[in-house]
Amino acid sequence: MVSIFITFFLALCGNVYAASVHASKTLVLYDERLDQLDSFSNFLDDLKSREYEIDYYTANSTADIELYEGENRLYDNLIVLPVKGKHINKLISDKTLLQFYNDGGDILSVTSPGAVPDSIRLFLNQLGIFPSPKGYELVDNVQGSLKIGSSEYRGSRIYEAKDGDSISLSSSSAALLDNREQIFPILAAPRTSYTGATSKDPWSVGSQGFLAAAFQNLKNARVAWLGSVDFLKNEFYGSNGNFVQEVAKWVFQEKNVIKSVSASHFHADGTSYEEVPYKIKDTVIYEVGFSEWNGEKWVPFITDDIQFELKMLDPYYRLTLKPGRQEGEVQYYTTGEFNLPDHHGVFTFETDYKRDGFSFAVQRDVKPIRNLAHSEYARSWDISNAVIYLSSIFSVIFAWIIFIIFFITASPAVSKSVNTSKKNN
């Protein structure tokens, strides 16, 4: 009983001090025929220092890769290092990878020009990331060596490059990217480079190719792809270490993780919808709270580009939210007072915050807005434009009354006698 309590307590402590917003159970898949784990000791030690619990699996093993126990994921994160041969396609298929990802697992995939398993390629292709074929290598005939400067960094939200920062690689492949809003380019190839077996049939030319890219689905699960194992190796870690650790922090949800909470809307006087349902032209207020994970705890998320939409099929209003009160770990944003449209129907109160590099935060609430009841319309005398018409009506009535009075009170006309005698000739 005591041992069970101790195990539970240690697990709880691990979750408390883990840098990731979710649990940090991680599986590393590698091929010892290509690289020994000692080659990545600096990278793995950095993960362990942030309380990651790491298991290892070599592609030479005959045992099955167990990512699930029944319907439950055994791991939160998966790191796939370059693996050679077709054996890995049977151990872990692209369908298994996609299922793991769709269930909320995060994946860091590292390939090299000579080691791109079909299962990994097919999985990345479904996300819109297309690594170059096997044997296609990034070549820069102008610079000679592969040294990527700060001008090639694209994912500033994932890694904010400083002047003088550079990436050093001995070899790399490049990928073409689909045009999807969930894809985040991180590191572009040099403008003077190409990727191919020969320069006559290139896979990518210049900055058209990318050495690192990321993808985030609508459930906020994340994937990052690196085109060279040199990103992680100890011999290049002096120049590449900061970059690859920031990418790892992003993909394993240690950074750029936000959440929206406590979305609400109510009448301007504070009355809730449940107490008094909305009708057209009512004055209401909408507010929502946002928090950000800073690697240790949730803190208020400060920004100026959160928008609220009130829509039926298309938005009737699109309002930029303003910072409101701050309570603990939550920063609240509000529309202030605004009038509902002069149109009844079922409307959606929505904030849909999707920005490159950040987790997606969506809040929706559907409420009907009714028309005015017969007794709720303004009376004629309350409408300023009705004065003309009311004056006309009363003028006609007054004139008719005057006419009736004169008609009744006027004396009858005296008729004159007419001589009707016959004239005799």
Residue-wise pLDDT for 87-105, tens only, equals 788 888 999 999 999 999 9
Q: What is the mean pLDDT of residues 49-77?
A: 89
| Mean confidence (pLDDT) of the chain | 89
Rounded Cα–Cα distance for residues 424 and 54 (Å):
146
pLDDT above 50 for 401: yes
62 pLDDT tier (thresholds 50, 70, 90): confident
Q: Which amino acid makes up residue 206? A: G
Q: What is the mean pLDDT of residues 213-222?
A: 95
Q: Is 39 helix (H, G, I), strand (E, B) or coil?
A: helix
Model pTM score: 0.83
Q: DSSP letters along 102-141, please?
A: HTT-EEEEE-BTTB--HHHHHHHHHHTEEEPPTT-EEEET
CATH of domain 257-375: 2.60.40.10
354 vs 419, residue with greater confidence: 354
Q: What is the mean pLDDT of residues 391-407?
A: 91
Q: Where in the chain is the domain with CATH 2.60.40.10?
A: 257-375
pLDDT digits (tens, 9 = 90+) for 104-143: 999 999 999 988 889 999 999 999 999 999 889 999 888 8
2 pLDDT tier (thresholds 50, 70, 90): very low
Whether the Cβ atoms of residue 25 and residue 252 lie closer than 8 Å to each other: no
Rounded Cα–Cα distance for residues 49 and 236 (Å):
20
Rounded Cα–Cα distance for residues 137 and 197 (Å):
7
User: What percentage of residues in the chain have a pLDDT greater than 70?
Assistant: 92
pLDDT above 90 for 144: no
Q: Which amino acid makes up residue 170? A: S
How far is residue 279 from each of residues 120, 334, 359, measured CA to CA in Å? 54, 21, 35
Whether the Cβ atoms of residue 36 and residue 59 lie closer than 8 Å to each other: no
Rounded Cα–Cα distance for residues 267 and 237 (Å):
57
- Residues in Cβ contact with 8 at an 8 Å cutoff, skipping those fewer than 6 apart: none
Q: Where in the chain is the domain with CATH 3.40.50?
A: 2-251
| Range 2-251 has CATH code 3.40.50 | yes
Q: Work out the burial of residue 197: count CB atoms within 10 Å of its CB; fewer than 13 is exposed, 13-18 middle, 19 or more buried.
A: middle
255 CA to centre of own chain: 14
pLDDT digits (tens, 9 = 90+) for 178-197: 999 899 999 999 999 999 88
pLDDT confidence of residue 420: 56
pLDDT above 50 for 16: no
Rounded Cα–Cα distance for residues 187 and 167 (Å):
10
pLDDT confidence of residue 199: 67
Among 26, 96, 30, CA closest to 61: 30
Whether the Cβ atoms of residue 28 and residue 54 lie closer than 8 Å to each other: yes
Rounded Cα–Cα distance for residues 178 and 125 (Å):
9
154 vs 411, residue with greater confidence: 154
Whether the Cβ atoms of residue 197 and residue 264 lie closer than 8 Å to each other: no
